[in-house]
Amino acid sequence: MGKHVGRKFAAVFLAGIMVFSLAACGEKKESSAPGVDGGVNTSKHEVVTMLVLGNKPSNGRCEAMLEKLNVILKEKVNAELKLTYVEWADWQTQYNVQLLSGDKSLDIITTATDWLYAWENTQKGAFMPLSESMLKTYAPKTYEQVSSMDDWKYCKYQDQIYFIPEDHYTQYTNHGLFYRGDWAKESGIGNGDIKQFEDLGTYFKWIKDNKADVIPWDVAGKNNSGGLLGGYLNSKTENIVIPSVNVGNYEFWMGVSKDDPFTIMSPYMEGDVIYEAAELMKKWNEEGFWREDVLNYDGETREAMYAGTSGSDEHHSQTFYSQIRPNMDLKQAGSDAKMYWWGMENNNVSKPLKTHGAAAISANSLHPERALMVYDLLRNDEACYRLINYGIEGVDYVITSDGKLDHPEGWDKSKDSLDANFWCGRNDDLELQDVQWWDGTKDMIENYNKFAYENPYTGLIIDKNSVEAEMSAMASVLSEYIPQLAFGKYEDPKAAIDEMREKLKAAGYDKVKESIQKNVDDYKATIKK
């Protein structure tokens, strides 16, 4: 899923309307209470529903996997698992609508503090507080592992635990643009390695002039309304995005730099870099580097790159080395797919938060204890883990003689993928090394490790309650201007930005900035930096 300037949450007034019903859940009778012998009472069969992100698969593989998984879950904890999908079309809105709807069928919630608004949803009452005794009893293996890394502190709000971190899984989630090295080389870029943001234009122009049936960057602007603006800002400044403090759809607030992370600013309101970015997007729009109707388009653009009809795609590093490069090697032999990651010019890359993936229990869950038991098995039991992540052995995957993950002959990720999307509890102890991942993965990660810095905002909670109205007003302004700026639709970008800044000021920019700065100052004091 895209990050940077493309995140949106449900309308504030809707969330506010729904908060009361969530907060007034009352006490729940434990569905899996400890029995008289000290064990857990699982005499009543429970259906546990997990909310996941992604398009619901239609190839039957997920259903087949769940059938086998539920045999094990019934045997071990007398439960069965169902999946509810929030699909990518308008996912930012629909996700929060689901969480704040009061739906009592939901139990395990996929969440994150940097792109799925875990703190905001915690504050709005969407999640159930999890006591340590509850975690020890119903998710003992998970509790022990997270405790050993001292990571529960990143999951607490007002001294209560509200979610479980995916803190034992290695990944890089910094974003960038995927492109074809063979075409980049033909465009005159040395060795086909794009190292400067402006070189993307050289690459796009060559495709436009030489590949009649290819869109240089076929992007679904309806789902990625921020385009490349965030990537430009990341690459041309030292600014650091502050996770989980978006304004509507956009990562708007930033720290000055890794050396001064606790001084708050926004390049959308300060400095000239946003002018430069918008002018460049206007030029690229005029040259036809994306669809004319890009802002209304929501097609499968990654599949277009695999098919050779798009020259680029945008997402993060893990997507590149686990999916893009191996798939392009297979589907576009000799394409030499590469990644230009945001911040390449200045090494402006932070390590992912330990709560980039996390699991919560819905405040409305009717059987939270059983839900924790199921989650503990999915995360820590080898048989359950392999089913939820890889599918059925021999059909969805095979294990090589040296213990690595592979797929049966003829298996095609685009058509045969499991897509259970268990992104809230992956575990390095049970992960199988995928032979189909790019063989340069290790080198890419080791290169990042040389300069990527620890995210300075791990554990930062922004209290938006006092500025909710202003944030909502600012979000409306940004939704009017940013998509048009991102895809070069304004005749005079500078005038549009100046007008946007005036409207943001009128919406309450200064008040919101002061409030966030206070939260950051308080956080800085607690970590004594």
Nearest of 229, 222, 364 to residue 284 by alpha carbon = 229
Closest CA to 460 of 512, 519, 513, 511: 519
Position 73 scores a pLDDT of 98
Q: How confident is the model over 138-148, as pLDDT tens digits?
A: 999 999 999 99
> Mean pLDDT in each 10-residue stretch from start to end of the chain (529 residues)?
39 36 40 59 96 96 98 98 94 90 95 89 95 97 97 92 94 95 97 97 98 97 93 96 87 96 97 98 98 94 96 96 94 98 94 92 97 98 98 97 93 91 96 91 93 89 91 97 98 98 98 96 81
CA distance 257 to 240: 6
> Taking the mean position of all CA atoms in its chain, how far away is CA 33?
34
pLDDT of residue 40: 85
Q: Measuring CA to CA, how many Å separate 247 from each of 7, 115, 177, 469? A: 9, 12, 24, 11
Torsion sign (Cα): 162, 93, 471, 521 = positive
Q: Identify the pLDDT of residue 31.
A: 57
The predicted structure's pLDDT at residue 20 = 34
Element (H, E) at 61: helix 61-77
Residues of the chain with CATH 3.40.190.10: 42-170+353-440, 175-351+458-528
Rounded to whole angstroms, the Cα distance separating 298 from 496 reads: 25
What share of the chain in percent tops pLDDT 70?
Answer: 92
- Per CATH, the homologous superfamily of domain 175-351+458-528 is Periplasmic binding protein-like II (3.40.190.10)
d(C-alpha 310, C-alpha 297), whole Å: 14
- Whether this prediction's pTM lies above 0.85 is answered by no
pLDDT of residue 501: 98
Is the domain defined by 42-170+353-440 classed in CATH 3.20.20.105? no
User: Which residues touch 50 (CB under 8 Å, ≥6 apart)?
Assistant: 81, 82, 83, 84, 107, 108, 109, 110
CA distances from 373 to 136, 169, 351, 426 (A): 10, 20, 30, 16
Q: Which of 390, 368, 387, 365 is nearest to 378 (CA)?
A: 387
What is the pLDDT at residue 38? 53
Specify whether the CB–CB gap between 244 and 463 falls below 8 A.
Answer: no
Please report how the helices 199-210 and 273-286 are oriented relative to each other, as an axis angle in degrees rounded to 10.
10
CA 110/CA 315 separation, integer angstroms = 19
Distance separating alpha carbons of residues 180 and 29, to the nearest angstrom: 57
CA atoms of 20 and 25, how far apart (whole Å) = 9
Q: What angle do CA 465, 166, 391 make, to 5 degrees?
A: 125
Between strands 337-341 and 358-361, the pairing is unpaired
Q: Which of 149, 315, 129, 136 is nearest to 217 (CA)?
A: 315
- Cβ contact 139:145 at 8 Å: no
